[in-house]
Amino acid sequence: TAYVTLEPCSHHGRTPPCADALVAAGVAHVKIGMRDPNPCVDGGGIARLRAAGVSVESEILANDARALNPGFAKRMEQGLPWVRVKLAASLDGRTAMASGESVWITGDAARRDVQFWRARASCILSGSGTVLHDDPALNVRLSAQELGIDGQVRQPVRVVLDSRSRVPSSARVMQGDGDILLYTTAEKTNINNGSCEVVNLAYNSGDDAVDLPDLLRDLAKRGMNEVHLEAGATLCGALLSQALVDEIVLYTAPHLMGDSAKPLFHLPHLHSMRDRLSLTIQDLRRVGNDIRLVLRPQYP
């Protein structure tokens, strides 16, 4: 008996059909967590197995199987990637002092934990404001052994939103090996890095901001299942306001930074208690001296 989380494929993609491999191996029974939402499969693998005389039981743990790979399911069904926002804040919900100083809010254990979230993502997304202020590399800094994987570490694609073409080629995110995408509405950019692809997206209302749904649809077309966002209150708030955030990973440190410090989200449209956005707690645990919350927005 073979146990699989996802229906074996029946078409030639990056690899030969998995259903054919199971038939060739003489497997008599296959138990499947969930059907493959990919239109190229969607029951075709099950039909191929049954046609070969293999006993198939499907949808036995569909919700659990989906939870293992939410980005793939969402991309196949909605044409959008799963968007996960990573945030680090003080106990009073502040991400940086009014001056912009933010090193370091959380401890070593929390910052190390972030690397595991980065490693599972298809891409790491940030905005030009964060890139200019913090100059992040947006890469995975743990070794394969530290991550507990075989082979080499796969670096996620680095993605920068730079509507007004402010990010220079000298930025750390533009250095090193690996693919880089820069989304802008500007006709010209400051980038001369050969490994960076500049993607021009127009905004429907005519201003100079990148259309966020269009951005995510383009990432999905490029095969991005999970987008890991590390950005400031403006971009995080804009995505949340448009119901484009699927999950929030919030590290809360036992500090107080005061009401003049910078907030987690810029959400100017919330005026009354009935406007508030509710979140469900998926997980809560201590990471070093900090608390990690995994939350999912409940959009009206």
Mean pLDDT of 118-134: 95
Q: Does one domain contain both 97 and 117?
A: yes
Strand partners, 65: none
**Across residues 153-162, what is the average pLDDT?**
95
**Are residues 31 and 96 located together in one domain of the fold?**
no
pLDDT score, position 208: 66
Residues 37 and 74 in one domain: no
pLDDT at residue 202 greater than cutoff 80? no
Q: Do residues 22 and 141 both lie within one domain?
A: no
Final residue of a structural domain among 21, 46, 67? 67
CATH number at residue 13: 3.40.140.10
Instruction: Please report, rounded to a whole number, the percentage of residues in the chain having pLDDT higher than 90.
Output: 77
| Domain identity same for 225 and 236 | yes
Is the confidence at residue 176, as pLDDT, over 90?
no
- Position 207 scores a pLDDT of 62
Q: Are 122 and 227 in contact, with CB atoms under 8 Å apart?
A: yes
Do residues 261 and 293 both lie within one domain? Answer: yes
Determine the 3-state secondary structure of 125 from DSSP. Answer: strand
Higher pLDDT, 177 or 277: 277
**134 phi/psi in degrees, rounded to 5:** -100, -20
Mean pLDDT of the chain: 92
Question: Does an H or E element contain 219, and which?
Answer: helix 212-221
pTM of the model: 0.90
Point out the domain boundary residue: 47, 67, 87: 67
Clarify whether residues 163 and 63 are in a common domain.
Answer: no
C-alpha 206/C-alpha 222 separation (Å) is: 26
127 and 85, same domain (yes or no): yes
Residue 158 has pLDDT above 60, yes or no: yes
What is the per-residue pLDDT across 127-156, written as a single tens digit (0 to 9) for each? Answer: 999 999 999 999 999 999 999 999 999 999
> In degrees to the nearest 10, what's the CA dihedral of 122, 128, 134, 139?
20
78 and 60 within one domain: no
- Domain stops at, among 41, 67, 93: 67
133 and 260 fall within a common domain? yes
For residues 31 and 142, membership in a common domain is answered with no
Alpha-carbon separation of residue 297 from 58, 114, 244, 282 (angstroms): 30, 20, 10, 11
Distant-in-sequence, close-in-space partners of 267: CB < 8 Å, separation ≥ 6:
237, 240, 241, 277
Here the CATH number for the domain that contains residue 259 is: 3.40.430.10
Residues 152 and 268 in one domain: yes
Domain count, the chain: 2
Domain range holding 215? 70-298
Tell me what pLDDT residue 93 has.
94
